[in-house]
A and B are shown apart, each in its own frame.
Chain A
Amino acid sequence: MTVPRARRTAAAVAAALLLLPAAACGGEGVGNAAPTRTLTVLAAASLTNAFAQLEQRFEDEHAGVDVQVSTGSSATLAQQAVAGAPADVLATADARTMATADDGGALAAAPRVFATNAMVLVVPPDAARQVGGLEDLAGTDLVVCVPSAPCGALAATLLDRSGVATEPVSLEVDVRAVLTKVTLGEADAGLVYATDARAAGDAVAVVDLPGAADLPTEHVVAPLAQAAEPELARAWVDLLLSPDGQSVLTGLGFGGPR
């Protein structure tokens, strides 16, 4: 039985296409050891910039390791960890969400506090003069996180304590979504962490809140029970607590663990 020529050609093309990515990978790996192991980190949205820097450092120190950071609301990430998400480490923006993961049996070791953060008010740069604090927020479009997210729980407590009768116009799913609404100019003000405000640079003006320092949130980290790379997971936790890791975090405005 002979195979028609057209079909043979098609098979050859298909085979070539299949091999192409492999060839490309091989070429890339020359001289610069191709990543063979992957460390997957679930991180609170507020840790986006810090973990991007630490990822670089970790990959430099651990040849052949590729770090994948997945960011989102701590509450969502904790649920994912409990549901068995294929990840190695969980870092949240407060102890409450970490406790959810712990209760669900997702942690391989006790969580450690590696940084603290405080809440600030961000406003568009041109509005900085009109808004001096929470008391000036009446009648403005304020955005905060959903109460289930750490930033939302903290914002609710702050607003409650201030006694300001302002209702937010939107409850965003994570702290970066709140920041975006302010940088886009859609909201008049937002309650975010000091580090997020700093990461936004000139796009927002920061109003420090009296009383916010008394309500710090603790960033906690723990290796996950389902970790495929338990050693690397511990190494990541160690990096966060090391002087090196701490200097990166404090450089971005995080407070040290207490």
Chain B
Amino acid sequence: MARADADLGRVPPVLLLPAVLATGLLLLPLLGLLARTPWTDLPELLGTPVVAQALWLSLTTSTITAGLCVVLGTPLAWLLARVDFRGRRLLRALVTVPLVLPPVVGGVALLGAFGRTGLVGAPLDSAFGLTLPFTTPAVVLAHTFVALPFFVLAVEGALRAGGRELDAVAATLGARRWTTFRRVTVPLALPGIAAGLALAWARSLGEFGATITFAGNFPGRTQTMPLLVYTELQDDPRSAYALSLVMLAVSLAVLAMLRDRWL
């Protein structure tokens, strides 16, 4: 590797300088976070029930979100990758919308659909007395809305990359489409599914805008870690830094877990 590099000549400064700047841009905020962390007060700041509630809520909602993405997103990705139908490009465009939409706009849109007076929310309320905003399911709904595109696009890419021919072979051997999906398509796409899962989980863990807009902010019910960090920043910035450190640690742990297999 090093020898091959040497053969190609030295690294041009015009490429090296921006690369170093980019590295600094990524690294400096993390160092700033560590520098401001009140290390000695950490146990006291993090040992409160509110923090435990928020961490637990964040971990459970992001895990449920990841699960929903697999159950709902895998079939959607399969449809986009394997079936020719009218409006497929339109559907793919629709899948990418939450990706570019500002999350707070997503929250406003969710209120319009699932709020108490929303398109679906109003009938739900009058028929079953069921309202979503300010509940934990609302958090999961908001997270799934923003995380699903990450999952679907990752899995669709994996499905397209390989295996259409193998699907055809399975069909010639008499397998029905459902059997092919289970026994051939999904096993081949597993690395893509895992990557999509990690992306969706991470996006859900960091979700803020759609959640605070649609689900509100209450400890133990809808206050996830990012919302708690924001709330604490108004009250006690030291606590916000301590919480941010926890989020950084969780993110690094996930990265370390994924590193060997997919990164």
- A→B interface (CB under 8 Å): 73, 75-76, 79, 141, 143, 146-149, 168-173, 181, 184-187
Decide yes or no whether B158 CB sits under 8 A from chain A.
no
Q: Is B165 interfacial (CB-CB < 8 Å)?
A: no
CA distance A149 to B116 in the complex (A): 26
A171-B115 contact given A75-B235, A79-B234, CB 8 Å threshold: no
Min CB gap A224→B, angstroms: 18
Complex partner residue of B218 from A76, A170, A173, A184, CB under 8 angstroms:
A170
If A146-B235, A170-B218 are given as contacts, then 8 extra A-B residue pairs at C-beta distance below 8 Å, sorted by A number, are A73-B234, A79-B237, A143-B134, A143-B216, A168-B218, A170-B216, A171-B217, A171-B223
- Select B115's contact among A168, A172, A185, beta carbons within 8 Å: A185
User: Given the complex of chains A and B, what is the CA–CA distance between A172 and B212 in angstroms?
Assistant: 8
Q: Are B117 and A170 in contact (CB under 8 A)?
A: no
CA–CA, A186 to B92, complex, Å? 32
* Contact A146–B233 (Cβ < 8 Å): no
Distance in angstroms between the alpha carbons of A18 and B237 in the assembled complex: 41
- Interface secondary structure of A, over-half rule: loop
Known contacts A168-B218, A170-B216, A171-B217, A146 near B115 by CB under 8 Å: no
Pick 13 A–B contacts, CB within 8 A, sort by A: A76-B233, A79-B233, A79-B234, A141-B131, A146-B217, A146-B235, A149-B234, A169-B216, A170-B222, A172-B216, A173-B234, A186-B133, A186-B134
Pick the residue among B116, B222, B231 that contacts A148 (CB under 8 A).
B231
Query: Does B76 touch A at the CB level, under 8 Å?
Result: no
Note all chain A residues with C-beta closer than 8 A to B222.
170
Bound CA span A168–B134, Å: 10
Q: Which of B184-227 contact A (CB under 8 A)?
A: 212, 216-219, 221-223
Least distance between A46 CB and chain B CB atoms (Å): 15
What's the tally of chain B residues with a CB closer than 8 Å to chain A?
21
Q: Does B111 contact A (CB under 8 A)?
A: yes
Q: A141 to chain B: which residues have CB within 8 Å?
A: 131, 134
Contact B234 A169 (CB under 8 A): no
Q: Given A76-B233, A76-B234, A146-B234, do A171 and B116 touch, yes or no (CB 8 Å)?
A: no
A147 CB contacts on chain B under 8 angstroms = 235
Q: Which of B111, B117, B217, B223 has the most CB of A within 10 A?
A: B217
The complex places the Cα of A169 from the Cα of B215 at a distance, in Å, of 10
Whether the Cβ atoms of A173 and B233 lie closer than 8 Å is no
B230 on interface, CB distance cutoff 8 Å: yes
Say whether B115 contacts A173, CB under 8 Å: no
CB distance from A240 to the nearest CB of B (A): 24
Contact B115 A184 (CB under 8 A): yes
Inter-subunit contact B111/A169 (CB<8 Å): no
**Chain B contacts of A73 at CB under 8 A?**
234
B110-146 CB mask vs A (1 if < 8 Å, else 0) is 0100011100000000000001011000000000000
Contact A186 B237 (CB under 8 A): no
